[in-house]
Structure 1
Amino acid sequence: MKNKIIFLALLLLSFNLMFAQNSLLSDFPKGYTPKEVGNRLAHRFVVGKHMLHGGKWISYPETFNWNGSLKYAAITKDRELLKLLKDKFEPLFTTEKGLLPPKNHVDLNMFGSLPLELYRITKDKRYLDLGISYADTQWQLPETAKSEEKEWADKGYTWQTRMWIDDMYMITIVQTHAYKVTGDMKYLDRAAKEMVLYLEELQRTNGLFYHAPDVPFYWGRGNGWMAAGMTELLRCLPKNHKDRSRIMQGYQTMMASLKKYQMPNGLWNQLIDEPDCWTETSGSAMFTFAFITGVKQGWLDTKEYAPVARKAWMALVSYINENGDVTEICVGTNKKNDKQYYYDRPRKVGDYHGQAPYLWCTVALLEK
């Protein structure tokens, strides 16, 4: 009888500990709940102006902010918000058609993920036809291709390969979205093959990634693109996929390293391994998204990583101002082999580079 009581007591203690750990990602004080934050940021996007790429086309930050808003509207079953987001897209079929990005660069083809997400939610075939064209042309070598682009294509990679860590979200997001709406494994195979290439070439022994092979710095948002890209891909890859274990290894190694570099304030710096560098929110939000998802999917140990994710989320929310704009966001950044360049990058308020991953976090927190 005594042993049975001890067993039941230990079982109850284990259950209470598990519940406490799980509640770290579900029980938030007023003002910090994912519904409150998501609602503020999604509606902020609805009334915002287009953020154009080169002043011509819908940019990748706007695309990803739009995607985040759509996913938030879907998971909260907010039909009014969904209608507002659909209405915002409608002119791209007509009067704003000229703002559709051309299909000739990794930073532009990613746009296809947006109409594909709209198709997933609405089943309106116009979105499917538009989105798939961006996913497919990423692997269709153009007649004007340069020799290096042809070499990549000959090896089975996208001709848009350029070995910047940013690419591992730009490529992954459109290819995984194409898979989600078609069920065609070729899209996952493409993204996985590309991801393994980038892991082999850019991930260092400490788990972090250089911005590019010739730029040996651990830039925050660049690493964020990689963390988010692996997360999106692992959510889709079947457990028996030949590349899954390699990608999971890269992901878990990175998460362990990021845990080590988390600053006392809960976030990460513009240069992750430089403690005197400034706190940057967009990369921090991408890491937080990857941590939240990893814990919920069982890829990361809950006891070890749920506190990391919660601490980061609570810190992130404090960087949203009264207008619903995220602060301390690094502006768009090309690679440069100059450490001071990363220290000196301007910071913006309300930039879509930062607004978007905050919304990804709200959706990840709301998912069961």
Structure 2
Amino acid sequence: MNRRGGAALALALMATAASLTAARAEPPAAERVSSPLAAASRVADWQLAHMDSFDYVTTFRRDTEGPRDWVQATFFIGLTELADATKDRRYVVALQDHGAKEGWGFDGRPRHADADAIGQVWLWTAARSGDRKQLAPIIARFDAVLAAPSTVSLDFGPKPPGGGDPYCQARWCWSDALFMAPAAWVGLSKATGDSRYLAHADSEFWATTQALYDPAEHLYFRDSRFIARRDAAGRKIFWGRGNGWVFGGLVRILSALPADHPSRPRYEALFKEMAAKLVTLQGTQGYWPVSLLEPQDTPETSGTGFFVYGLAWGINSGLLPAKTYRPAVDKGWAALERAVGPDGKLGWVQQIGVAPDKVVATDTQLYGAGAFLMAASQVSKLK
């Protein structure tokens, strides 16, 4: 080989090395999504591919099948946050298609908070599409409540003689309701400029908090039946997911609440109180227990998802100091990722219920996936 040829070869090798270095430094576009969003996309894609049959759900399948009910609504709420975080048009289309198929409507329970939850999705699709006609059903629904507001007791009492929901569920008499309904009411005020919806949500939220929040423990009882109950060791019973609903609901409320609203400091103080308590209850593996005061290490991903979501949002919004709360978020997120199978199916989700219960690795549910998407969307924003 002559000198000129050797120089050319050296230059070629240097160029090849440089290109390889650049390739290592700059991953392909498909790999540039942050790992939390990549994990969330796998979970979302698995769930979207399994919406035609719910044979993998072991209990309460009819509740799961309701396209407007709270189970699917929670997944789609999570999908709105993932769509915002990833800008992936597939998720926007899935949300718009779901709304169009359902006519932006609600199920047949005109006052039940579980049925209000899908309204959070319709508010999102209306805002993204600019189609205010999508708001007509939620406006009609909430106006009917405001025209004749319920004054029933928040005590979780009996069901009507002919069957149906307990009387108190005409209001928000259980902790889950604080995720399902208030953010939809607050969001409708934001979308329409009509303050009546926010005023109703504010009043009812604090009525429920007065009834169910334990100021000594900084946690919520699931409903009034649990206030006097104790576990076998004499501990108060605070359901993990039940408090997850509230903590996640606070994020949704605060995200839509005007910065100058008179109640905002009160919501923020409650959020901080709960956060300070929750980080003391995280298990060694990163999951939160199904019964928060009972030390245990069985994985459970729905409550954990909501807690990671709330804590990460608190850091991102400046309400919580990262130095104090970031370790719990990182530990919780790592635990959530371990619960995702190779195919994207999320496991260890406690099934539908009203109290702490057993959970196994194969248990999955749409609300667990929704909480995972919410958590990932906030974890991805941490610096």
The TM-score, its normalising length taken from structure 1, stands at: 0.78
Q: Does 1:248 align with 2:268?
A: yes
Cα gap change, 1:296 to 1:162, in 2 (>3 Å): closer
In structure 2, the partner of 1:208 is 219
Residue identity (%): 23
Cα gap change, 1:146 to 1:74, in 2 (>3 Å): closer
In structure 1, the partner of 2:133 is 126
1:268 touches 1:279 (CA, 8 Å); kept in 2? yes
The one of 191, 210, 231 aligned to 2:201: 191
The separation in 2 between residues aligned to 1:240 and 1:346, in whole angstroms, is: 45
The separation in 2 between residues aligned to 1:253 and 1:137, in whole angstroms, is: 35
Q: Does 1:364 align with 2:378?
A: yes
Taking only aligned residues, the RMSD between alpha carbons, in angstroms, comes to 2.9
Q: Trace 1:141-220 onto structure 2 (pairs within 5 A).
A: 141=148, 148=153, 160-204=170-214, 205-216=216-227, 217-220=237-240
The one of 81, 84, 93 aligned to 2:91: 81
Higher mean C-alpha displacement, 204-213 vs 71-80: 71-80
Q: Does 1:233 align with 2:253?
A: yes
| Per-residue deviation, residues 212-264 of structure 1 (Å, max 9, x unmatched) | 12213100100001111112212233343222222222211111110111111
How many residues are matched? 321
Q: Trace 1:288-299 onto structure 2 (pairs within 5 A).
A: 288-299=308-319
1:31 touches 1:37 (CA, 8 Å); kept in 2? no
Higher mean C-alpha displacement, 291-300 vs 159-168: 159-168
Cα gap change, 1:248 to 1:80, in 2 (>3 Å): closer
The separation in 1 between residues aligned to 2:109 and 2:40, in whole angstroms, is: 30
Pair member with larger Rg = 2
Higher mean C-alpha displacement, 107-116 vs 159-168: 159-168
1:293 touches 1:364 (CA, 8 Å); kept in 2? yes
Give the letter aligned to residue 364 of structure 1. Answer: Q
| Per-residue deviation, residues 304-356 of structure 1 (Å, max 9, x unmatched) | 01221121111111111122111111111136xxxxxx344677633112001
Q: Does 1:90 align with 2:110?
A: no
Cα gap change, 1:255 to 1:146, in 2 (>3 Å): closer
Q: Does 1:276 align with 2:296?
A: yes
In structure 1, the partner of 2:369 is 355
Cα gap change, 1:241 to 1:188, in 2 (>3 Å): same
2:122 touches 2:134 (CA, 8 Å); kept in 1? yes
Query: Structure 2 unaligned runs (5+)?
Result: 1-30, 55-61, 155-167, 228-236
Query: Structure 1 unaligned runs (5+)?
Result: 1-28, 150-157, 336-341
In structure 2, the partner of 1:107 is 114
Give the letter aligned to residue 36 of structure 1. Answer: A
Give the letter aligned to residue 248 of structure 1. Answer: E
Cα gap change, 1:207 to 1:176, in 2 (>3 Å): same
